[in-house]
Amino acid sequence: MFLEGWKREVMNITIIAIGSLGDVQPYLALGLGLQAAGHKVRFAACANFEAFVRSRGLEFFPVRCDPRKWLESEQGIDWLRSGSDPIKFICGLTRLMKPTMEESLEDSWTACQGADAIIYSLLAIGGYHIAEKLSVPSFIAALQPIRRTSAFPNVVLPEKFNFLGTVNILTHILAEQLFWQPFRGMVNEWRRNTLSLPPASFFGPWGNMAKQKYPYLFAYSQHIMPKPPDWGDWVHVTGYWFLGRPADWQPPKDLVDFLSNGPRPVYIGFGSTTESDPEGLTETILKAIKLSGKRGILLSGWAGLSKDKMPDNVFALDAIPHDWLFPQMAAVVHHGGAGTTAAGLRAGVPNVVIASQA
């Protein structure tokens, strides 16, 4: 296990996971695994996930952020339409996060008091700096392969931009700086005023992380994306972190009846992606199901897909555990989110990705 070699047998570990439900769930699974291994885990995430996290038995600390509001705002919808332009993608994301960044940094600092180790997601920008202040071990944990490598370009670039060697590394450095520079002044002020640390360098922590052999956790399968040869043994590709269903969970009876009364349906859902015209998208989906001659399961999600006036061959619902539903599907059509993709691969059924930012 990646904590082997750390001296304390029982550790107080803070996990900071900033993002949508699909971003939070894998980190919650990690936290439950650490708790089962005997460690004490505090889970810090956007405040709207408090009931969800506490229902799984982890201590929760709220962070002032709301990714759903980010995505449902005019700026958020523009960001989702940014296409395959990596500069628009990263700059749009930083604009969404910036209004609540000061509060998020302060809350993250408070959440880490008493921690012996810190694990944080890519959007939890304060994690690295807090660990520096507290002089405790830390990991950056990501759902995508975002570390520098010569093997492939940064994941925000389209596949056609796959260069060789040093040029690939430069794409990672460019992405790091596009993400860091909008927050540099704010983070450095927070380092001075709250952490009593000197300002970070102009280029931020990324160069230091590369030199220090800073540890990474990547929550995907090496069979999907093999570990590049220039990632050392301090970089861990662990496999997916799946959050199981609550022990007392039962599927809705009307859904069970629908599944048993015909051939396997096709799942269609777009997770935490928001949609400016949910009615129009729902109409398009229903037309596609009709043309295919298939049955369908429609998950409304954050896209707000309409559940009204469904035909007899379509069942609509708000949410359902993917690990229960997907193995019963003929195929799954989704937005390509990390959690949904992992669940689809695990189910062993055909996956069709309709990327909202393609």
Give domain limits for the chain.
Answer: 12-237, 253-353
What mean pLDDT do residues 121-137 have? 95
pLDDT score, position 162:
72
Residue 82 has pLDDT above 90, yes or no: no
**Domains 12-237 and 253-353 belong to one CATH topology:** yes
Q: Which helix (H) or strand (E) holds 185?
A: helix 166-193
What mean pLDDT do residues 209-230 have? 93
| Residue 348 backbone zone (phi > 0: left; psi -120 to 50: alpha; other: beta) | left
Each residue of 228-281: pLDDT tens digit? 999 999 999 999 999 989 888 999 999 999 999 999 999 998 865 555 667 787
Q: Which helix (H) or strand (E) holds 152?
A: none
pLDDT class for 199, splitting at 50, 70, 90?
very high
Name the average pLDDT for the chain: 87
pTM, full prediction: 0.88
Collapsing DSSP states into helix, strand and coil, what is residue 127?
helix
Superfamily of domain 12-237: Glycogen Phosphorylase B; (3.40.50.2000)
Each residue of 152-165: pLDDT tens digit? 998 887 767 777 78
pLDDT score, position 358:
45
Q: Tell me yes or no: is domain 253-353 CATH 3.40.50.2000.
A: yes
pLDDT score, position 207:
85
CA–CA gap between residue 119 and residue 121 (Å, rounded): 7
pLDDT score, position 34:
96
| Tokens 């059509």 belong to residue | 333
What mean pLDDT do residues 322-349 have? 93
